[in-house]
Amino acid sequence: MASVAILLLIVYWITLAELDQQLSESVERETDVLAELYKSRGPESTVRAIQLRIADLRAPRRYYLLQNAAGERLAGNLPPMKPIEGEIVLPVSSLLRDRSLKSGGATADAHPVVAMGRRLENGEFLLVGENRYRAVKAREAILQAFGWGIVITVLLAAGGGAALGVGFLRRIEAINRTTRSIMDGDLSQRVPTRGGEDEMDQLAINLNAMLDRIQGLMDSVKRVSDDIAHDLRTPLSRLRHRLEATRAKLGPGGEREIEQSISELDAILETFSALLRIAQIESGARQAAFSNVSLGRILSAVFEAYAAVAEVQGQKLEIGVERDFPIRGDRELLTQMVANLIENAIRHCPAGARISVSLDQDTGAPTLSVTDTGPGIPAAERDKVFRRFYRLETSRTTPGSGLGLALVKAVADLHGASVELSDSRPGLRVRIRFLADSEIGARKVSTPGEPVTGHAGGEVPDDRAGG
C-alpha cells in the first residue's frame, strides 16, 4: 500500500506540473497573437479584439489589459498597473477594483491568474492572463480519482489477500488432514498437489517423497516379520509333531522334558499366529466376513464362559448390559476381543479383584468397557503398549508376547472403532467405542488397510502389557 501511495503522489505532482506548463504556454501564445495584431494593424484592432474576447468569457476565464504610456487603460478587464514584463501571478481579488468590468461568476474569480506582460511600441503595455480554474478543477478531479483509486486498491488488496489467505489456509488444512490420517496409522495418505510449481506444491512433493520412503521402510519391516512368522511356523509345527512322537518312546523323565519343549514351541507358534493374524487384519481381508452381529449376545456368552475361571482365581466377574446393540462386524474377532480382554484382566489382577464388563451408549455410539481393580498401566505407557512386542517392565515375568494391544489397534482400525485406555482408580479401564448411526452414514467404505463402515473393538490375546 505504501508503494501505491507513493506512486499516486508522484503521478499527482507530475500532472500538476504539466497543467501549469500548459497554462503558461497558452497565455504566452495569446500574448503573441495580440502583440502581432498590435504590430500589424495598430491599437484600434487590438482594442476591438480584446473587447470581443472579454464579451465571450467562460470559465476558465482570461484577463486582459492594454494601457498607454501614461498608465491609462485602453481596453481590458483588469485595472491599470505598473508594467511588468514576463510571467507573473496576480491575485484577482486585489486587482479587480472596477467591479463593473467583472463578468462571470465568483467561482472563476476565486483563483489566482497566471499572466504574461509585454511592452509594445509607443510605450504601451499589454497583459494577458488566465486564471488557474482549469488547473484547480483538474487537481480536484485527480484527487477524487486518486481517492477512489486508493479505496478500490484497498478493497482489491483486502479481497485478494483474503482470497489468497483462504486458499493458503485450505492447503494448510489439507496438509493437516493428511498428517492426522498418517498419525492415526494410515500411511497411504498423501498431501494433495495442484500440479503447479509454487512453494506449497514443492513442499507437498517433498513431504510425499518422504512419506513414500517411510511407508516403504515400514512395509519392509512388516513384511520381514510376516515372512518370518510364515516361514518359521511350518518347520516349528513339524518339530512339535516329532517331539510328540518322541515323547511316546521315552521314559517318564524324558517325557517331562519333551512336554516342556512342546510348551515352549506352543508359545512360539502362538506368537507367530498373532503376527500373521495382525497382518491379515491390517490387509483388510477380514472385511468380507462382516455381518450383522449382536454385541450383547457376544458379551453374555463370553461372560458365562469366564465367570467360573474368575471365581477359581478368587476374583469377581460382573456384567452390565444396558441394551443390545446390533452392529456390522466380524463375529469371530469381536468374540475373541471380549474373551481376551476378560482373560487379560483375570491374568493380571490379584485375588479379590473385581472385573466388570459393560455395554452402554456414549453420545449415540455403542461402547464396550472392561474395567478391573488390578495394577493398571501407567499413563506414560498407554500409547506405547499398542506397539508390537512392547511390554511393561513389571510384566516381563508373566506369559505373553507383547502383541495383545497391537491386535486391539489392528481390529479397531478394521472396524472403525476407537480404543482408549484409562485409569479406573485403581486398575485399568479398556474402553472400545463403536461408530454411532450418524457417523456410519457420514463415512464411506474404506479401502483395505483403512477403517470401514462398521464397528468392532480390539483383540487382546493374552497379556496386559501390550501382549
Tell me which residue range forms the domain holding 431: 290-441
- Count of Cβ atoms closer than 10 Å to residue 347 Cβ: 16
Rounded CA-CA distance 334/329 in Å is 8
- Count of Cβ atoms closer than 10 Å to residue 337 Cβ: 31
Tally the domains of the chain: 3
pLDDT digit string, tens, across residues 197-219: 788 888 888 888 888 888 777 77
The residue count of the chain comes to 467
- On whether both 260 and 299 belong to a single domain, the answer is no
pLDDT of res. 449: 42
Rounded CA-CA distance 448/188 in Å is 11
- Is residue 102 over pLDDT 60? no
- On whether both 212 and 125 belong to a single domain, the answer is no
* Helix (H/G/I), strand (E/B), else coil: 190: coil
Domain assignment of residue 392, yes or no: yes
- On whether both 57 and 115 belong to a single domain, the answer is yes
pLDDT bracket for residue 396 (50, 70, 90): low
pLDDT of res. 317: 95
pLDDT bracket for residue 100 (50, 70, 90): very low
| 104 within 8 A of 45, measured Cβ to Cβ | no
Rounded CA-CA distance 352/277 in Å is 34
- DSSP string across 132-161: THHHHHHHHHHHHHHHHHHHHHHHHHHHHH
Amino acid at 32: D
Domain assignment of residue 149, yes or no: no
pLDDT of res. 103: 46
Q: What is the pTM of this model?
A: 0.49
C-alpha cell at 380: 506414560
Which 8-state DSSP code applies to residue 368?
E
C-alpha cell at 17: 506540473
> Lowest mean pLDDT: which of 1-5, 57-61, 311-315?
57-61
| 346 within 8 A of 309, measured Cβ to Cβ | yes
- Is residue 459 over pLDDT 80? no
- On whether both 311 and 434 belong to a single domain, the answer is yes
Domain assignment of residue 225, yes or no: yes
